[in-house]
Amino acid sequence: MTQIGTEFAEWAKQKLEQDPQFMQKILFSDEANFYVNGEVNKQNHRYWSDTNPHWIDPSKTVGTKKLMKCDTHRLEDGPPTKSVLTREDALKYYRTMQVIRRMELKADQLYKQKIIRGFCHLYDGQEACAVGIESGIRLTDHLITAYRAHGYTYTRGVSVREILAELTVEAMEPWTIEHRVFVYDCFVKNNQSITAVQHEFRCHFNIHRNKDVPARNTIPRWVKALRTRGTLMNKRMLGATRMARTPENVESIRLAQLRSPNRSARKHSSELGLSNHSVPLGAGVALACKYKGTDEVCVSLYGDGAANQGQIFETYNMASLWKLPCIFICENNKYGMGTSVERAAASTDYYKRGDFIPGIRVDGMDVLCVREATKFAADHCRSGKGPIVMELQTYRYHGHSMSDPGISYRTREEIQEVRSKSDPISMLKDRMLNNNLASVEELKEIDVEVRKEIEEAAQFATTDPEPPLEELCNHIFYNEQPMEVRGTNPWMKLKSIS
Amino acid sequence: MDEELERDERVFLLGEEVAQYDGAYKVSRGLWKKYGDKRIIDTPITEMGFAGIAVGAAMAGLRPICEFMTFNFSMQAIDQVINSAAKTYYMSAGLQSVPIVFRGPNGASAGVAAQHSQCFAAWYSHCPGLKVVSPWSSEDAKGLLKSAIRDDNPVVFLENELMYGVPFELSEEAQSKDFTIPIGKAKIERQGSHVTLVSHSRFVGHCVEAAGVLAKEGIECEVINLRTVRPMDVETIEKSVMKTSHLVTVEGGWPQFGVGAEICARIMEGPAFNFLDAPAVRVTGADIPMPYAKILEDNSIPQVKDIIFSVKKTLNI
């Protein structure tokens, strides 16, 4: 154990000897993780100084980092092992990764509240991949991925608000806990008159007379739920049943300025419902880039699970034959749904699976490593050498999707170990602090800002009205006259506008 | 295709043997010599892969024509056609269109047996987001293909191998470079007043022939060439049925859940039902995988005599 660790342990022991109830009397503490091998994770340390901690030495705005050397296949040299990180870039990457992390955790929460339905595949743990890749390619390059896409949708320019709004768009019951608490109080106050409650609800929340308020049978249901089960939410308690150790501190949101949420959605990123489509489609986009003579590249992402699909090899063949400027990136998060890579692939060297296509294996938890490798790959493609395969070794903290607790095929210890040793955000943070590129306060400020942004986006998404029924049949065809579409019975003739 | 390739830089053709081989059925003969490797691309035998690549290119702004050597091979790639091409515009709420044409010979040929003779009109027409077109004559083929290439949506263009070699007269108008036929409108090939015959692709020819034979016996058939299977031009069929009161549909595919089944269902749900004097009848391929032996094959697809027989039964003659 380290010196500090030993001292602390001695101090705690002493305190306990003086007062056995000491531990229960602690109001709050900061966490720091100590490891037997001597490492200390100092994420929550506060620094006190007598000079303004915001002041940063301008000569120290740039840090040079040494990166892990990447394994290569059929390549003479790999990406550089040294990388320069400027303060500006570092802050940008940090913020983006935090946004993605918070957004995914928020999506987790919304899913448990049943505001998000269907499937929800979360990206936390893999943020360095999205951010690293985006910083290695240009805005005009293309990117195509499969369903674990929230991270990429954000890095390619869609705002958090739009992402969450799309996920929550089918919210059948958009009543948050605030609404419900109000309803309960109102109900008790008004002597159980439901009409009065509805009227007050409408006034208090300023709901337009044509829009819905909680229904006649919803209100007593909520009241009963609170009285019998002790909760106002539908079935599960908010987060209580989940055992996974998510470092969620959503309750400590402070008011801060909202960063501009307006970003235009760009066409380059597509979210597909199936896991393996992205590869031939990405090669198709690359074909178009080559055809049009632009020097754009296309990044096609797929996971370790999809990496064994036949169409990927068909695509490797054609991309290599025709020298398409396509970067195939395999995000290897060690598990294809619930099957670990050893049980699914005869060869887990995904960067070599392209066979005649050169490949690089990259540490996907280190944003700088990903960035350098992506730049290297993009240059390779742009110079007309044809496609290249990149394997990003990364990890996802959540299960495959929200319906998967993620512990039946792996241990909690494993998740915790990755989280403490190789968390991408902590890695970047440590680097930034060690090189004095930013102060702890600054990063804390960014954290708070980010939480505010996500909370507001979630608020917008959950109170956003559902799409009107008239939109049901729109956008079947492009550039087409309005046409009639048959509904669920022969008399239902719906209109479709393209 | 030549005219469309010339007209629009973004159009290109890819498929097996389309370039140096001049096309498996010689449909793309001479194109490679004229346009070269960039616009006429030979692919390896990997339907799913190249269909996906074609769809990706369409998403990126080009206008590919993806040729399947026969539509039977499209089953390898059907996931890309339906899930990537047809559904994308809807799924992206209008952000991402896919202007692609999938074409190739469909249905029975001569002696190619079960795995090479299936008709896919019903399979593809089932899906919203796709347009399915099935020409009969040369005029149909030219006009519809041009419309399909110029259309900004995924179109499945079902040709017929046996029709490739059949010559038709082209009117002056049809010979122009900008001759297009609107997708979604059927054509009445022959006027009549006793019975309506509805068909698509090769069997329109059979219907016209049957109508010729029946005319000698005093039965006037109205022959409708669907041209487009999806979206189907039900108005034309309804108008015709309201005139003749009898309906016989003819197609090469299997009967269960086929094109004829859809036509009958739509007629039933529409105003034309009240005008029918007899139940609508379907003439279809036999409900078996296509046999090889000639005599068996001949009895598995609708012949002119089947049509004549069905018409007479419907009219109770």
pLDDT digits (tens, 9 = 90+) for B167-201: 999 888 888 889 999 999 999 999 999 999 999 99
Torsions phi, psi for A410 (to 5 deg): -150, 165
Interface of A with B in 130-149 (CB under 8 A): 142, 144
Check residue A58 and give its pLDDT: 44
Torsions phi, psi for B111 (to 5 deg): 75, 20
Indicate yes or no: CB of A277 within 8 angstroms of CB of B80. yes
Distance from C-alpha of A159 to C-alpha of B56, rounded to nearest angstrom: 25
Distance from C-alpha of B79 to C-alpha of B101, rounded to nearest angstrom: 15
Cα distance from A323 to chain B (closest Cα, Å)?
12
Helices A87-112 and A440-463 pack at an angle, to 10 degrees, of 40
Indicate yes or no: CB of A287 within 8 angstroms of CB of B56. yes
Distance from C-alpha of A26 to C-alpha of A43, rounded to nearest angstrom: 20
Check residue A266 and give its pLDDT: 32
Distance from C-alpha of B299 to C-alpha of B283, rounded to nearest angstrom: 12
Distance from C-alpha of B208 to C-alpha of B221, rounded to nearest angstrom: 9
Secondary structure letter of residue B162 according to DSSP: G
3-state secondary structure of A285: helix
Distance from C-alpha of B133 to C-alpha of B143, rounded to nearest angstrom: 11
C-beta of residue A286 within 8 angstroms of C-beta of residue A298: yes
Q: Which amino acid is at A181?
A: V
Distance of CA B250 to the CA centre of its chain: 13
**Residue of B47, B67, B161, B262 marked catalytic:** B47
pTM of the model: 0.75
Give the residue from B53, B130, B262 with the most A CB atoms within 10 Å of its CB, the best one to mutate: B53
Show residues of chain B in contact with A314, CB under 8 Å.
44, 46, 48-50
- Choose the closest CB to A285 out of B50, B59, B128: B59
Alpha-carbon dihedral B232, B236, B242, B246, rounded to 10 degrees: -60
Place of tokens 């006034």: A203
**Residue of B17, B116, B209, B220 marked catalytic:** B116
Check residue B215 and give its pLDDT: 94
Distance from C-alpha of A116 to C-alpha of A108, rounded to nearest angstrom: 9
Distance from C-alpha of B76 to C-alpha of A51, rounded to nearest angstrom: 69
Omega of the bond prior to B231 within 30 degrees of 0, cis?
A: yes
Q: Are β-strands A269-271 and A142-145 bridged in parallel, bridged antiparallel, or unpaired?
A: parallel
CA closest to A268 among chain B residues: B60
Show residues of chain B in contact with A265, CB under 8 Å.
95
C-beta of residue A360 within 8 angstroms of C-beta of residue A370: no
Closest-CA residue to A447 (of A189, A91, A172): A91
Q: Which amino acid is at A121?
A: H
Distance from C-alpha of A30 to C-alpha of B277, rounded to nearest angstrom: 86
Alpha-carbon dihedral B160, B164, B169, B174, rounded to 10 degrees: 70
Distance from C-alpha of B77 to C-alpha of B57, rounded to nearest angstrom: 16
- Choose the closest CB to B61 out of A273, A279, A288: A288
Q: For residue B113, is it left (φ>0), alpha (ψ between -120 and 50) or beta?
A: left
CB atoms within 10 A of CB B34: 11
Cα distance from B296 to chain A (closest Cα, Å)?
37
Q: Which amino acid is at A126?
A: Q
Distance from C-alpha of B188 to C-alpha of B206, rounded to nearest angstrom: 14
Residue B161: CB partners within 8 Å, gap ≥ 6?
Answer: B25, B70, B105, B107, B109
Closest-CA residue to A394 (of A362, A371, A426, A420): A362
Place of tokens 């991402």: B96
Check residue A167 and give its pLDDT: 82
Show residues of chain A in contact with B83, CB under 8 Å.
273-274, 277
Distance from C-alpha of B66 to C-alpha of B13, rounded to nearest angstrom: 6
Torsions phi, psi for A201 (to 5 deg): -60, -45
Question: How confident is the model over B15-33, as pLDDT tens digits?
Answer: 999 988 888 898 999 999 9
Check residue A95 and give its pLDDT: 93
Show residues of chain A in contact with B48, CB under 8 Å.
280, 310-311, 314
Output b/e per residue, B260-297; b: 16+ Cβ within 10 A: bbbbbebbeebebeeebeeebbbbbbeeeebbeeeeeb
C-beta of residue A476 within 8 angstroms of C-beta of residue B128: yes
Low-confidence ranges of chain A (pLDDT < 50): 39, 53-60, 170-173, 235-273
Distance from C-alpha of B26 to C-alpha of B29, rounded to nearest angstrom: 5
Closest-CA residue to A454 (of A13, A110, A86): A110
- Choose the closest CB to A318 out of B53, B62, B91: B53
Distance from C-alpha of A349 to C-alpha of A391, rounded to nearest angstrom: 8
Residue B213: CB partners within 8 Å, gap ≥ 6?
Answer: B304, B308
Indicate yes or no: CB of A274 within 8 angstroms of CB of B90. no
The 3-class SS string of A420-452 reads HHCCHHHHHHHHHHHCCCCCHHHHHHHHHHHHH
Distance from C-alpha of A202 to C-alpha of A194, rounded to nearest angstrom: 12
C-beta of residue A360 within 8 angstroms of C-beta of residue A95: no
Look at A233 and B278; give whichever has higher pLDDT.
Answer: B278
Quote the percentage of chain B above a pLDDT of 90: 87
CA closest to A315 among chain B residues: B49
Alpha helices (runs of H) in A30-176, residue ranges in sequence order: 87-112, 127-136, 150-155, 160-168
Check CB contact of A215 with chain B, cutoff 8 Å: no
3-state secondary structure of B251: coil
Distance from C-alpha of A177 to C-alpha of B136, rounded to nearest angstrom: 63
Check residue A85 and give its pLDDT: 86
3-state secondary structure of A292: helix
CA closest to A471 among chain B residues: B93
Question: What stretches of B87-153 adopt beta strand conformation (E)?
Answer: 101-105, 131-133
Torsions phi, psi for A412 (to 5 deg): -65, -30
Closest-CA residue to A226 (of A181, A195, A175, A179): A181
Secondary structure letter of residue A477 according to DSSP: S
CB atoms within 10 A of CB A459: 14
CA-to-CA separations, A125 to A101, A342, A390, B48, B109, in angstroms, rounded? 8, 21, 18, 32, 55
Indicate yes or no: CB of A480 within 8 angstroms of CB of B91. no
Specify the length of chain B in residues. Answer: 317
3-state secondary structure of A355: coil
Indicate yes or no: CB of B48 within 8 angstroms of CB of A280. yes
CA closest to B94 among chain A residues: A475
Q: Are β-strands B131-133 and B11-15 bridged in parallel, bridged antiparallel, or unpaired?
A: unpaired
User: Is B251 labeled as catalytic in the residue annotation?
Assistant: no
Show residues of chain A in contact with B231, CB under 8 Å.
483
CA closest to A317 among chain B residues: B44
* Mean pLDDT computed over every residue of chain A: 78
Specify the length of chain A in residues. Answer: 498
User: Is B116 labeled as catalytic in the residue annotation?
Assistant: yes
Q: Provide ipTM, 2 decimals.
A: 0.85
Distance from C-alpha of B231 to C-alpha of B246, rounded to nearest angstrom: 23
Secondary structure letter of residue A350 according to DSSP: G
Check CB contact of A310 with chain B, cutoff 8 Å: yes
Distance of CA A193 to the CA centre of its chain: 44
Question: How confident is the model over B122-171, as pLDDT tens digits?
Answer: 999 999 999 999 999 999 999 999 999 999 999 999 999 999 999 999 88
Question: How confident is the model over A21-64, as pLDDT tens digits?
Answer: 777 777 666 666 655 555 455 555 555 555 554 444 444 456 67
Would you list which residues of chain B are within 8 Å, Cβ to Cβ, of chain A? 12, 38, 41, 43-44, 46, 48-62, 79-80, 83-84, 88-97, 99, 128-129, 131, 152-153, 231, 269
C-beta of residue A270 within 8 angstroms of C-beta of residue B92: yes
Question: How confident is the model over B223-261, as pLDDT tens digits?
Answer: 999 999 999 999 999 999 999 999 999 999 999 999 999
Show residues of chain A in contact with B55, CB under 8 Å.
280-281, 284
Cα distance from B85 to chain A (closest Cα, Å)?
10
